[in-house]
Amino acid sequence: MLEDSLIIFDFLTETLRFLPENIFIFGRSIGTGPATYLASKRQKCKMLILFSPFTNLKAIVKDYVSILSVFFRDRFPNIEHIKEVKSPIFILHGKKDKIVKVEHSEQLHKAAKTKYKHLVVREEMTHNQYKLYDDLIIPLCQFLKIIQLNKNYEVRTNTRSAKKRDFR
């Protein structure tokens, strides 16, 4: 599955000629595994968007049945892959999510090393119940606006050079 995500991305960029800088990589729940992996390998994507992500599958198994986690092979080590992502990262999680605890998103946000990263935790959102516009679209658009403003906004340090503002 991880290799498939690379093949699809390469098809989009090499065959269909999409610019990597115009591609948003989106993953929700289990889909955050391939999405995070892809963004770590194809670093020129526009943004990585993670919706109810997990640090790794072994940690989820441990949350439910701790003793069985020692026998579980982890196919999606998001906590490791996110460290390699260079694109902006937007993470959304619901505080009432009982399938994937919100702590997973907090740990991923902390582990991410990219310049632009943003974590949104919605009070009333669960794993499967959310308001598309209020919980996802509005916060994502606000983050995109902040990134764009910061990339375009320059603070003059002297007459010969300019320094870009930083957003974290």
Predicted pLDDT of residue 162: 36
Predicted pLDDT of residue 2: 85
**pLDDT-based confidence at residue 132 (cuts at 50, 70, 90):** very high
**Residue pair 149/164 in contact by the 8 Å Cβ criterion:** no
Q: Which residues contact 115 (CB under 8 A, 6 or more apart)?
A: 88, 166, 167, 168
pTM: 0.84
- For 13-137, where are the alpha helices, taking DSSP H only? 32-41, 57-64, 78-81, 102-111
Q: Is the confidence at residue 46, as pLDDT, over 60? A: yes
**Residue pair 48/31 in contact by the 8 Å Cβ criterion:** no
List the one residue out of 91, 95, 113 whose CA is nearest residue 47: 91
Q: How far apart are CA 37 and CA 127, in angstroms?
A: 22
Residue linked to tokens 């990219």: 114
